Amino acid sequence: MTQADRPPTKEELLEKAKQPAKEAMQLHPYYKGKIQTIPKCIIRGFDDFAIWYTPGVAAPCRDIQANPEKVWEHTNKGNTIAVVSDGSRVLGLGNIGPEAGLPVMEGKALIFKYLGGVDAIPICLNTQDPENFIRATKLLQPSFGGINLEDISKPKCFNILHRLKTDMNIPVFHDDQQGTATIILAGLLGALRHVGKELDQITIAMLGVGAANTCTAELLIEAGVPAGNIILCDRDGLLYKSREDLKQMKEDEHEKYDLAILTNEDQRTGDFGEALRGADVCISAAAPKPGLIKKEWVKTMASDAIVFACANPLPEIWPWEAKEAGARVVGTGRSDFDNQINNSLGFPAIFRGALDVRATTITDEMCIAAAQALADIAEERGFRDDYVIPGMEEWELYPREAVAVGMKAIEQGVARKQWEMADLLKHTTQIIKRSIDVTQALMDNGFIPKAPV
């Protein structure tokens, strides 16, 4: 019996919920943050600084001046991204500001390095104005091979992503939108293969129409789900073409308006219970409130139903309750339950692949390729009701996912550098494995001190 099969006691839940915060308050000040910079070049003696700095450095500077593309060869630009945020919507904490958001951006940078071999620099901007944010981020372009946007409130996050993707010639990716969508798609592809259903034949009910589910709906449509087979629900009920607030929605949140026009072919009205009636799939990115999705609603879903309740730190319905109500596959955002829908499965490898081919953008097709790679890996390892998507500890998935992204970029003509698939797989495997090994070596030799707790 897995933990998801039995309800934990209230005391167990409270203790588990308290432990990460308790240790975080001890270890963050102990290590003074989570990342640092260390040399990657040899330093045989002080004479070598004449190579790495003046006077020798003038030669590569002139080479780049004459041939701007040489910046990818002479510098670490090709392996460096910026994790940029204004702190306006940090995790479940809301608008806590740039300084308070910095620990999250450092954590993101740590995962980028450990799982993707990507050097990521956290940058928290002291502005809440979208135009200032866009201008500041565009000014960073010479130093970085990509931009990962993080924890930006809606609706401005949509326009910021669109503008930066349009105006910059390096990949710009918003993990709260594209990353979440990619991993939900990966879990869905795996679950559908497991239960024997086809993407273009299913109906999907989606609770929450924020940044995550908006982008997820768009990516699902791009991947092959008929738009009319998707029904979305916000706090005011189901989206449909003649809803009273549609005009205001068009002015304030045109992405949401577009989905209201495209989806819900049967024009159902009512609450989320109506959306779930007969649905094959439930995808929720709403509020961390168990009971928000009711058991009696899940009972009305189609056979072999799939339920992804992705709110953190608590899902909208407990996994055992969804299973008791008849769901066959259940996923959440928590690591202590089966089928974790975890963005960390996506963004390190997506950027690894994009950087290695020097992509100019990250397309929807590249995200779909990443999702398909994850589903393929889970299928190879053997689908079960409690395993339709790999776990982030399965590090071998990251090189394969990165290769899928990189090869799709080459196929689409958005890559500056060409690779043969076998060579790209060897390269990505080496760089990711080296990052993990270097971290272990630093710990083994005491350069990263042992934790006091």
CA-CA distances (angstroms) from residue 193 to 182, 297, 329, 372, 380? 17, 24, 12, 11, 12
Q: Do the domain assignments include residue 218? A: yes
Q: CA-CA distance, 44 to 42, in Å (whole number)?
A: 6
Residues 242/267, Cβ–Cβ less than 8 Å:
yes
First to last CA, the chain: 31
Co-location of 126 and 206 in the same domain: no
Q: Note the residue count of the chain.
A: 453
* Tokens 């002139």 -> residue: 62
Q: Do the domain assignments include residue 8? A: no
Residue 2: pLDDT band (50, 70, 90) is: low
Q: Do the domain assignments include residue 18? A: no
Average pLDDT in the 243-262 region? 92
Co-location of 192 and 329 in the same domain: yes
Tell me: pLDDT of 309 over 60.
Answer: yes
Q: Do the domain assignments include residue 25? A: no
Domain count for the chain: 3
Task: Give the structural domain span for 92.
Answer: 77-170
Co-location of 156 and 294 in the same domain: no
Tens of pLDDT, residue by residue over 339-394, are 999 999 999 999 999 999 999 999 999 999 999 999 999 999 999 999 999 999 99
Co-location of 45 and 115 in the same domain: no
Co-location of 70 and 190 in the same domain: no
Q: CA-CA distance, 158 to 152, in Å (whole number)?
A: 9
Q: Pick from 116, 138, 170: which residue ends a domain?
A: 170
Phi, psi of 440 (to 5 degrees): -65, -40
Co-location of 90 and 213 in the same domain: no
Phi, psi of 256 (to 5 degrees): -65, -40
Q: Do the domain assignments include residue 26? A: no
Catalytic residue annotation: 53, 108
Q: What is the pTM of this model?
A: 0.94
Co-location of 293 and 216 in the same domain: yes
* Residue type (1 letter), 58: A
Supply 287's token pair: 């509020």
CATH of the domain at 212: 3.40.50.720
Tell me: pLDDT of 430 over 90.
Answer: yes
Q: Do the domain assignments include residue 440? A: no
Give the range among 106-120, 165-179, 183-197, 242-256 with minimum mean pLDDT: 242-256
pLDDT score at 20: 82
Q: What is the DSSP letter of 3?
A: G
Q: CA-CA distance, 162 to 411, in Å (whole number)?
A: 23
Co-location of 137 and 226 in the same domain: no
* Tokens 């790495």 -> residue: 52
Residues 6+ apart with CB under 8 A from 415: 357, 358, 359, 360, 406, 409
Paired residues of 149 in beta bridges: 84, 174
Co-location of 144 and 260 in the same domain: no
Residues 6+ apart with CB under 8 A from 165: 172, 361
pLDDT score at 234: 95
Supply 107's token pair: 């954590």
Strand, coil or helix: 225 = coil
Q: Pick from 51, 75, 99: which residue ends a domain?
A: 75
Mean pLDDT, the chain, as a whole number? Answer: 94
% of the chain beyond a pLDDT of 70: 97
Residues 70/60, Cβ–Cβ less than 8 Å:
yes
Nearest in space to 259 (alpha carbons), one of 216, 292, 316, 201: 216
Average pLDDT in the 162-191 region? 97
Q: Do the domain assignments include residue 261? A: yes
Co-location of 350 and 365 in the same domain: yes
CATH of the domain at 96: 3.40.50.10380
Tell me: pLDDT of 86 over 90.
Answer: yes
Average pLDDT in the 419-441 region? 97
Q: What is the DSSP letter of 179?
A: I
Tens of pLDDT, residue by residue over 94-126, are 999 999 999 999 999 999 999 999 999 999 999
Residue 10: pLDDT band (50, 70, 90) is: low
Co-location of 237 and 300 in the same domain: yes
Residue 451: pLDDT band (50, 70, 90) is: very high
Q: Do the domain assignments include residue 64? A: yes
Co-location of 357 and 237 in the same domain: yes
Average pLDDT in the 398-403 region? 98
Average pLDDT in the 294-322 region? 95
Q: Pick from 75, 96, 121: which residue ends a domain?
A: 75
The vertex-150 CA angle with 111 and 282, nearest 5°, equals 90
